[in-house]
Amino acid sequence: MELDTIHWYPGHMVKARKMVQENLKIVDVVVELLDARIPVSSRNPAIDDILGDKLRITVLNKADLADKSQTEKWKTHFTRERGYPCIALDSQQGKGINTLINTAQSQAQDIIQKLISKGRRPRPVRLMMVGIPNVGKSSLINRLAGKGSTKTGDRPGVTRGKQWIRVGKGLELLDTPGILWPKFEDPEVGFRLAVTGAIKDEVINIEQVTVKLISLLTEIAPQNLMERYKLDKLAPDPYDTLKSIGAKRGCLVSGGNIDTLKAAVIVLNEFRAAKIGMFTLDSI
Ligand SMILES: Nc1nc2c(ncn2[C@@H]2O[C@H](COP(=O)(O)OP(=O)(O)OP(=O)(O)O)[C@@H](O)[C@H]2O)c(=O)[nH]1
Ligand SMILES: [Mg+2]
């Protein structure tokens, strides 16, 4: 089934990209957040071009929602084949945060050493987050800004008007993350972004996306679907499965018909919360 076209606005992309490029000049390390469930689809395709040879750490965020063995494979891929340190994170619970802090510090060690060898005072390593909407940039910033952190305020001169958050000793973080849009001309990428919540629900057709999701799950994880919704079997047509789920969950409209939109919202939310299972949709 074809999904309706999802629109994005090139104007926004250009503006966001400019802002990232501006901030790139004042940071040492960029933390590139990807959604662990879709490490390819959640990447901005121009990221390599934008970041150039800037030091970079790839974070597979929301790892708590993804397939663990796939996350391991993706970590190896990014670390060995692309040559960036790659860390799996759960920014909601803070799992993996210390590894990120240590990695950032060792990444930028040479930069700080160079300052010292020139007789300058060592300064904290400066970080910036970048990633697509909803990938968890703010959650990660809040996590890092947790206990013991303080806003370091404006720094006139070098970084006019920028707010830095001190993350423990020797590390600080730009408080405004860079938003980079994904590219979803490919309907399959659009589907993966929609189903994981990267695209606002207002601009997607929830029923269509969910029917496609049910079709996918029928193929890759029928047992999970049947167990979650207490179904004895799955129908050949995923729309019929959606109706059965609606019936099980009491999604009815007057006349006894199934409210399929209501059922779709339930399935989509439960999938996003990994209640149906932990899935990685971009497989390696
Ligand atoms: N399960 C889980 N949820 C997460 C994680 N990180 C973020 N979230 C949730 O994902 C949603 C989006 O997180 P934000 O931190 O607001 O994402 P953002 O990248 O700042 O989004 P924008 O500001 O819209 O670009 C929130 O509901 C978070 O609670 C994670 O590691 N695991
Ligand atoms: Mg945010």
**Which token pair is 70?**
């796939």
Q: What percent of the chain has pLDDT over 90?
A: 66
Decide which of 180 and 242 is more confident. Answer: 242
pLDDT of residue 186: 86
Q: Ligand 1 center to residue 15 CA distance, Å?
A: 22
pLDDT of residue 147: 57
- Rounded Cα distance between 232 and 40, Å, is 35
Res. 3: pLDDT tops 70:
no
- The CATH number assigned to the domain holding 215 equals 1.10.1580.10
Q: Ligand 1 center to residue 137 CA distance, Å?
A: 6
Tell me the per-residue pLDDT of 116-161, one tens digit each, with 9 for 90 and over.
999 998 889 999 999 998 999 999 998 988 755 555 554 444 445 6
Residue 68 lies in a domain: yes
53/174 same-domain check: yes
Tell me the per-residue pLDDT of 200-253, one tens digit each, with 9 for 90 and over.
888 889 999 999 999 999 999 999 999 999 999 999 999 999 999 999 999 999
DSSP-assigned letters across all residues of 11-24: HHHHHHHHHHHHHH
216/170 same-domain check: no
Domain finish residue from 179, 194, 224: 179
Res. 4: pLDDT tops 90:
no
pTM score of the predicted model: 0.92
136/33 same-domain check: yes
173 pairs with which residues across the strands?
A: 127, 165
Q: Ligand 1 center to residue 118 CA distance, Å?
A: 41
Query: What is the total count of domains within the chain?
Result: 2
Residue 278 lies in a domain: no
261/148 same-domain check: no
pLDDT of residue 197: 92
Decide which of 157 and 21 is more confident. Answer: 21
Residue 277 lies in a domain: no
82/156 same-domain check: yes
Res. 13: pLDDT tops 80:
no
Mutate to test the pocket of ligand 1, among 65, 92, 272, 279 (most ligand atoms within 8 A of CB): 92
Phi, psi for residue 117 in degrees, rounded to 5? -70, -20
Residue 4 lies in a domain: no
Q: What percent of the chain has pLDDT over 70?
A: 91
103/223 same-domain check: no
- The CATH number assigned to the domain holding 52 equals 3.40.50.300
- Please give the single-letter amino acid code of residue 264: A
Mutate to test the pocket of ligand 1, among 13, 100, 138 (most ligand atoms within 8 A of CB): 138
Nearest to 144 by CA among 180, 98, 89, 178: 98
124/231 same-domain check: no
Mutate to test the pocket of ligand 1, among 12, 19, 139 (most ligand atoms within 8 A of CB): 139
Domain finish residue from 179, 214, 243: 179
Q: Ligand 1 center to residue 61 CA distance, Å?
A: 9
pLDDT of residue 81: 85
Q: Ligand 1 center to residue 253 CA distance, Å?
A: 33
Q: Ligand 2 center to residue 136 CA distance, Å?
A: 7
Residue 283 lies in a domain: no
Domain finish residue from 164, 179, 194: 179
Which residues are near ligand 1 (CB < 6 Å)?
61-62, 64-65, 89-92, 131, 133-139, 179
Ligand 1 atom with the smallest distance to the CA of 133 is 25
Residue 45 lies in a domain: yes
20/161 same-domain check: yes
Residue 52 lies in a domain: yes
Phi, psi for residue 160 in degrees, rounded to 5? -55, 125
Neighbours of ion ligand 2 (CB under 5 A): 137-138
pLDDT of residue 157: 41
pLDDT band at 72 (very low <50, low <70, confident <90, very high): very high
154/219 same-domain check: no
Helix 260-272 vs helix 206-220: crossing angle, to nearest 10 = 60
Which uninterrupted H or E stretch holds 30? strand 29-35
26/141 same-domain check: yes
Q: Quote the mean pLDDT of the chain.
A: 89
Range from 96-110, 133-147, 175-189 that averages highest in pLDDT: 96-110
* Residue 247 belongs to domain spanning: 205-272
38/138 same-domain check: yes
Residue 282 lies in a domain: no
151/238 same-domain check: no
pLDDT of residue 161: 64
Asked whether 36 and 61 are in contact (CB, 8 A), the reply is yes
Tell me the per-residue pLDDT of 23-61, one tens digit each, with 9 for 90 and over.
999 999 999 999 999 999 999 888 999 999 999 999 999
